[in-house]
Structures are given as structure tokens and as C-alpha cells.
Amino acid sequence: MAVGTRFTRSESTERYEVFHTDCPAREMVDHVTSRWGIWVLISLQTNDLRFFELRESIRGISEKMLSQTLRGLVEDGLIWRKVEPTTPPQVTYGLTEFGRDVGEPLADLFGRITSRLSADLLS
């Protein structure tokens, strides 16, 4: 356990206090819910994608922001990164099992929002 980490006991299991600034889960939540983290997780729901494919699928993201976002999500274990030893290197990203679990509700939320907007446009 990291020094300063706060957690409580709840029915004999440890639970992180996500509202405390020292909570290790807080950084992961920040990565997932960042402006671009959500879009990366949703983009990878259906296919593994190479860097340029991700950049093209997420309109408005710079290469720098995409790189930073991917780095954080890889470190958190939400996505995996595979580098093909070619010139130039081909880098592919995909969701880990954990990333798929986290991304499903986000994709569902996005689907609900777009369905609602579509229904509003038709009425």
C-alpha cells in the first residue's frame, strides 16, 4: 500500500476513497474521463486500431494529445500497445479485458445520447 493512500473497510473488503486526493484510483479515473480518454476507449470498442487510424477517427485531437492519452491508458492497463518492427514502426492499440469492461458503459452512454439526439431531430 502506498504511503498516504486512504481506504476504508467495507464488509471485510478494502475500498478506495476516490474522493480523497491520495487515492490511486483517482488518476486512472482522470485518464478515462479526460476529454480524449473517453473517445479513445469508444473508438477501440469495435476494432484494434493503428495510431493514424485512431487520430483519423477522433476528430480534433492532435498527435501530441493522442500520444499522451494513449500513454496514460496503457500505463493504467486499459489498452495494450503492439509495435511492429517495420520502417517506420507500425503501432497498434487495442482494449485489454479491463479496458473493455470500463469502455462498455461509456459506449452505452454515447449510444444513448446519440439515440436521444437523433430522436429529437426527428420530432
Tens of pLDDT along 42-99?
999 999 999 999 999 999 999 999 999 999 999 999 999 999 999 989 999 999 999 9
| pTM of this structure | 0.76
Q: Which residues contact 93 (CB under 8 A, 6 or more apart)?
A: 40, 44, 48, 49, 50, 51, 54, 70, 74, 79, 80, 81, 82
